[in-house]
Amino acid sequence: MQFVDEFCSPGLAKGLVEAINGLVDRVDRVDRMDKKIVLMEVCGTHTVSIFRHGIRNLLAPSIRLVSGPGCPVCVTDAWDIDSALWLSMQKDVILATFGDMIRVPGSQAQKGEGANSLERQRVGGADIRVVYSVLDALDIARNNPTKRVVFLGIGFETTAPSIALGIRLAKEQGLDNFFVYSCHKLIPPAMKALLESGEVRIDGFICPGHVSTIIGAKPYEFIAEQYHIPCVITGFEPVDILQAILMLVKARDRARIGGQCPPYNKDQARVEIQYSRAVKPEGNVVAQQILAEVFEPTDAAWRGIGVIPDSGLKIRQEYSQFDANMAFEIPQTHIETNLSGCICGKILRGIAVPLDCSLFGKGCSPEEPIGACMVSSEGTCAAYYKYVRYE
């Protein structure tokens, strides 16, 4: 296959669905198994694609697809939003951010008006600008030499290398009024945290294609080796996702033949690459080098999950003059988020779905989001609102 259209082929999709359901039905009949096969995708783009193409409704009832913490906007902790809000209020500061972050709720507003956001802060007069890349933020810094420009750096391993490159460019060009507040997150530590929590049973991971183009397959190997859970790195078209599901179901069949049920043993659990047209086993070595030059792992707080060791990125000492945490005395006080009834945290951990939330489709909608999962188009609540709420 050479073209994206081929990965949307109805004929190929139908054949994969029949293969998946046929294999599941055969195994269930032979072994009299009625336990759900729980597969978790940890990428917001996968979540949206699964709903948009109606994949859940095509699969056997015993296959359960669960969304994990795969939306970088959704997992940005209220503490970090509070810090961004504080930075935007400082004298002669321009805060630059990606558009989705504008409406993400922080903690309680100082005047007790509910959860605050950068959008509300901008209406109040703060100089907050939406940019499409870190290069836009660098341009703002060049064009406003008397201002301090703070870029709110969010995203997983996919976007972090470009922001690392932006910091390196700022050093090369001598931009001493440019800073980054890093909220970057790393996916594999979050996957480990979910497994360690024991809150949800996971029989297989649908691993993120975008992230894996950077990090490759090796960072997931501990999941197969230590937890004996198979992983498949996949693309985003319906044939991609269905093929990944078939590969995971086949892993279950291998375990059945070996006399095992999940968790599988180390010989039956593997890390496989379905998205071979974009992902190499070693990943993008150049991007990894840039990332390691500018950033280093650090503990990070995830919304609804808590602090996960070595799951974030902080700016290394060699580039510390561009670290907003070093340039500003950001208050360390944290006001607990007060979003009565919101279950975004449970949804991000895969132990609840948006339909379980009393606010879903009522007080909380994409137009008036209360929780972070409803803000981004890749958020699980936003996907449910668009594709599932009428089911």
CATH topology assigned to domain 4-67+217-273? Rossmann fold (3.40.50)
pLDDT of residue 265 exceeding 70, the answer is no
Question: Tokens 């503490």 correspond to what residue?
Answer: 79
- Mean pLDDT confidence for 336-349: 79
* Choice among 23-27, 112-116, 274-278 with the minimum mean pLDDT: 112-116
Q: Model confidence at 322, in pLDDT bands (50, 70, 90)?
A: very high
**How many other β-carbons are positioned within 10 Å of the β-carbon of residue 223?**
22
Give the pLDDT score at 3.
65
pLDDT tens by residue, 151-197: 999 999 999 999 999 999 999 999 999 999 999 999 999 999 999 99
Pairing type for strands 148-153 and 63-67 reads: unpaired
pLDDT value of position 36: 83
Q: Return mean pLDDT, the chain.
A: 89
Does position 306 have pLDDT exceeding 50, yes or no? yes
SS3 312: strand
The predicted model gives 132-151 an average pLDDT of 97
Mean pLDDT of the 143-148 span: 97
Q: What mean pLDDT comes out for the span 198-214?
A: 95
Question: In this predicted structure, what is the pLDDT of residue 28?
Answer: 62
Crossing angle of helices 10-31/238-257, nearest 10°?
20
- Write out pLDDT tens, residues 230-260: 999 999 999 999 999 999 999 877 765 444 4
- Annotate 23-43 with DSSP letters as a single string: HHHHHHHHHT----EEEEE--
Domain boundaries along the sequence of the chain:
4-67+217-273, 73-186+283-327, 344-387
Does 370 score more than 90 pLDDT? Answer: no
List CB contacts of 65: < 8 A, sequence separation 6 or more. Answer: 39, 40, 41, 50, 55, 56, 59
Task: Please determine, for residue 216, whether its predicted confidence score (pLDDT) is greater than 90.
Answer: yes
Q: Where are the beta strands (DSSP E) in 42-92?
A: 63-67
The yes-or-no answer to whether 4-67+217-273 and 73-186+283-327 have a common fold is: yes
The domain 73-186+283-327 belongs to what CATH superfamily? HypD, alpha/beta domain 2 (3.40.50.11740)
Query: Residue 21 above 70 pLDDT?
Result: yes
pLDDT at 391: 59
- Note the pLDDT of residue 105: 86
Q: Which residues contact 73 (CB under 8 A, 6 or more apart)?
A: 100, 101, 104, 154, 372, 375, 376, 378, 379
**Distances in whole angstroms, Cα of residue 381 to Cα of each of 51, 243, 371, 385:** 11, 25, 9, 6
pLDDT at site 321: 97
